Amino acid sequence: MLTWLQRDNLDFPPLEKAMRDPNGLLAAGGDLSADRLVQAYRHGCFPWYQQGQPILWGSPDPRTVLLPDELHVSRSLGKVLRQQRYRVTFDQDFAAVIRGCAEPRDYADGTWITGSMQAAYIELHARGHAHSVEVWDGDELVGGLYGLAMGQLFFGESMFSRADNASKVGFATLVERLKDWGFVLIDCQMPTQHLQSLGARSIPRRIFADYLNNHLDQRNCADWLPRRV
pLDDT in tens, 103-142: 987 655 557 899 999 999 999 999 999 999 999 999 999 9
How far, in Å, CA of 18 to CA of 58, rounded?
A: 8
Q: Is residue 222 part of a domain?
A: no
CA separation for the pair 208, 166 (Å, rounded): 28
Looking at the DSSP assignment, which residues form a beta bridge with residue 47?
57
Q: Residue 229 has what pLDDT? A: 74
Rounded CA-CA distance 144/86 in Å is 11
Examine the domain organization and report whether 106 and 209 are in the same domain: yes
Q: 223 lies in a domain?
A: no
Final residue belonging to a domain, choices 12, 30, 60: 60
pLDDT for residue 1: 84
- Residue 54 included in any domain: yes
Q: Which DSSP string corresponds to 108-148? A: SSS-SS-HHHHHHHHHHHHTTSEEEEEEEETTEEEEEEEEE
CB-based contacts of 81, cutoff 8 Å, min separation 6 = 73, 169, 172, 173
pLDDT at position 17 is: 97
* Same domain flag for 121 and 105: yes
Burial letters 110-142, b for 16+ CB under 10 A, else e: ebebbeebbebbbebbeeebbbbbbbbeeeebb
Residues 130 and 189 in one domain: yes
Q: Can you tell me the distance from the alpha carbon of 160 to that of 193, in angstroms, rounded to the nearest whole number?
A: 14
∠ CA(214), CA(219), CA(224), 5° rounding?
125
Per cent of the chain over pLDDT 70 is 97
Q: Which stretches of the chain are DSSP H helices? A: 34-43, 75-83, 94-101, 115-126, 166-180, 193-196, 205-215
Residue 226 domain flag: no
Residues 183 and 92 placed together within one structural domain of the fold? yes
Tell whether 11 and 118 lie within a shared domain: no
Asked which of 97-106, 145-154, 211-220 is least confident by mean pLDDT, the reply is 97-106
113 and 181 fall within a common domain: yes
End-to-end CA distance of the chain: 47
Please enumerate in sequence order all residues whose Cβ is within 8 A of that of 193, keeping only pairs 6 or more positions apart, or say none.
Answer: none
pTM greater than 0.85 (yes/no) = yes
Please give the pLDDT value at position 106. 64
More confident residue, 186 or 223: 186
Domain annotation covers residue 180: yes
Please name which of 105, 227, 94 lies closest in space to residue 162, comparing C-alpha atoms.
105
With respect to residue 7, please indicate whether it lies within any of the assigned structural domains: yes
Q: What is the mean pLDDT of residues 8-15?
A: 96
Q: What's the mean pLDDT in 69-98?
A: 97
For the ranges 1-5, 86-90, 174-178, 203-207, the lowest mean pLDDT is seen at 1-5
Supply the CATH number for residue 105's domain: 3.40.630.70
Q: What pLDDT score does 108 carry?
A: 53
Given 60, 81, 99, which residue is the final one in a domain? 60
* Residue 72: pLDDT over 90: yes
CATH number for position 9: 3.30.70.3550
Looking at the structure, tell me whether residues 116 and 165 fall in a common domain. Answer: yes
- Verify that 23 and 36 share a domain, yes or no: yes
Q: What is the pLDDT of residues 16-58, one digit of tens each?
A: 999 999 999 999 999 999 999 999 999 999 999 988 899 999 9
Q: For residue 53, count CB atoms less than 10 angstroms from its CB and return exposed for 0-12, middle for 13-18, buried for 19 or more.
A: exposed
Longest dimension (CA), the chain: 53
Note whether 35 and 104 are same-domain residues.
no
User: Do 199 and 174 belong together in one domain?
Assistant: yes
pLDDT tops 90 at residue 198: yes
Chain-wide mean pLDDT for the chain? 95
Q: Could you give the number of structural domains in the chain? A: 2
**Do 45 and 73 belong to one domain?**
no
**Looking at the structure, do residues 94 and 147 belong to the same domain, yes or no?**
yes
Q: Is residue 150 part of a domain?
A: yes
The whole-angstrom separation of Cα 141 and Cα 73 is: 22
165-170 average pLDDT score: 98
Q: What is the pLDDT of residue 186?
A: 99
Boundaries of domain holding 56: 3-60
Which of 1-5, 167-171, 181-185 has the least mean pLDDT?
1-5
